[in-house]
Amino acid sequence: MPERVLELGCGPNKTPGAYGVDRHPYAGVDAVVDLDRTPWPLEDTAFDRVIARHVIEHIERVEAFMREIHRVARPGALLEIETPHFSSVFSWSDPTHRGHLSSQWYRPFLQGGYLAAQVGAFELVSSAVTFGRSVRCWIPRLMVRARGLDWWEKHYAFAYPGRDVFTTLRVVKHG
């Protein structure tokens, strides 16, 4: 059985083979859906993988967004989220961005996190911050390698900004 992929906010450049959802009726979009209005018109436990590139920062209620992802994903499904890092000029230059996220944005949704009981639990697979390509961008990379992502964010994120946060979570469902 082929993997069922859901791409949220796919725009006109949907991942090949994915079921694409967007609030605008671009060519290739399979369903026009306002992701701020729940429940989404999608089946429960229907997808093996969910992709959300540069979408979560536009969402009004992230908890409701994550609850819907948990609902439509199968147990063990992977969730791939990409968003601008809060220190990036790209996070602040778009007036439609409602949230500015850190590399740790997902923690309340992990098993044992304070939102997991309301939303559904996730398990961390990976989270990373990217930096630009200039020589100056080696400084935060070295800081992260030496002292960790939390330390860089707390002390130097605005002096040496990140670019994007890439997070992969696994959907945890019991029973």
**Segment 8-61, tens digit of pLDDT:** 999 999 999 999 999 999 999 999 999 999 999 999 999 999 999 999 999 999
Domains and CATH numbers, the chain: 5-131+163-172 (3.40.50.150)
Antiparallel, parallel or unpaired: β 31-32 and 19-22: parallel
Distances (CA, A) of 99 to 93, 104, 173: 12, 13, 27
Q: What is the pLDDT of residues 55-98, one digit of tens each?
A: 999 999 999 999 999 999 999 999 999 999 999 999 999 999 99
Opening angle at CA 55, ends 148 and 57, nearest 5: 60
pTM for the full predicted model:
0.95
Beta-bridge partners for 32: 22
Q: Are 103 and 127 in contact (CB under 8 A)?
A: yes
